[in-house]
Chain A
């Protein structure tokens, strides 16, 4: 079966750095997405990785290792508004997105 694993919840301090991991087992691979979802709102796109390596976009970076079936989202200089759920999703060989259950990130002052 297809499976995406992420930690359920993480806590970090304002101004610090946090890394959210995602491991996956899917039938085929056409890219990995990270989305942010604030409580009660729709998910919004953060990043897309299809090749191995690090993609940096401001305070957020995303890393992919296809051979290990592994990705992480790195958030720097954490702000209170970063408190949200972070969803990892993999596009399989049928171009269908398989979603993880999400990681709830709690930022403390």
Chain B
């Protein structure tokens, strides 16, 4: 069974540009979560999608947005990039949004903003 996949592995952008990150969940998983992990820091929750709808978002500005497609894959968009957006962006998926809800993580996208 294929795990969570993310693309691209690395992304280099300049300030003010826009970045798009992609995630494909494990087959059968309907929930997708996005996290930001800045160097040396813990995971910060960004967004949660389930069944195509945004269920919750973390304490991030509106320039962080995303969507979930009918096949449950997801996209994270970051507009007007700032230097402090440089981080590892992790996507996770789970089979159900409640109860026992182990999240399986993808390898991440390393975003560097110059």
Contact = CB atoms under 8 A, between A and B. Distances in A.
Interface string B31-61: 0010100000111110010000000100000
Contacts of A97: 33, 45, 103
B106 interface: yes
A6 to B, nearest CB: 9
B99 A42 contact: no
A33 interface: yes
B107 interface: yes
B62 interface: no
A44 B105 contact: yes
A82 to B, nearest CB: 19
A97 B35 CA distance: 10
Interface residues of B, number: 22
Nearest to B41: A101
Contact of A99 (B45, B56, B104): B45
Interface string B91-108: 000000111111111111
A11 interface: no
A22 to B, nearest CB: 12
A91 B102 CA distance: 10
B76 interface: no
B5 to A, nearest CB: 11
A30 B35 CA distance: 20
Contact of A96 (B56, B100, B105, B106): B56
Q: Which 8 A-B pairs have the closest CB atoms?
A: A101-B42, A42-B105, A99-B43, A95-B98, A45-B102, A99-B42, A43-B105, A102-B42
18 contacts: A30-B98, A31-B100, A33-B102, A41-B107, A43-B90, A44-B105, A50-B100, A87-B42, A87-B43, A89-B43, A95-B98, A96-B45, A97-B33, A97-B45, A99-B35, A99-B45, A100-B42, A102-B42
